[in-house]
């Protein structure tokens, strides 16, 4: 019984990770994905490594204000 529970937990964690990676790949590649007759559209793909909390236009405006 313990082996079954451990196997179940491992399978659950693997399938959860696989699902997240598959959805992310479909959003980046196609802009959406479908499940049965429903289509889900991804409206933004944000890379946290390059994302900033302040839009670039505001940063540019602040830089030009500091130069004056």
**How many angstroms separate the CA atoms of 16 and 20, rounded?**
6
The pTM of the full predicted model, rounded to 2 decimals, is: 0.53
Cα dist from 5 to 17, 46, 50, whole Å: 18, 36, 40
Please count the CA atoms within 13 angstroms of the CA of 17 that sit on its side-chain side: 6
pLDDT tens-place string over residues 6-29: 999 999 999 988 988 898 888 888
Name residue, tokens 């990770």: 17
**How many angstroms separate the CA atoms of 8 and 14, rounded?**
10
Does position 65 have pLDDT exceeding 80, yes or no? no
**How many angstroms separate the CA atoms of 2 and 25, rounded?**
35
Domain with 38, as residue range(s), is: 2-67
Question: How many domains is the chain built from?
Answer: 1
């Amino acid at each position: 019984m313990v082996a079954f529970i451990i196997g179940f937990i491992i399978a659950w964690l693997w399938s959860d990770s696989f699902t997240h990676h598959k959805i992310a790949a479909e959003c980046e590649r196609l802009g959406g994905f479908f499940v049965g007759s429903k289509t889900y559209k991804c409206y933004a793909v944000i890379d946290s490594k390059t994302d900033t909390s302040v839009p670039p236009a505001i940063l540019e405006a602040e830089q030009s204000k500091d130069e004056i």
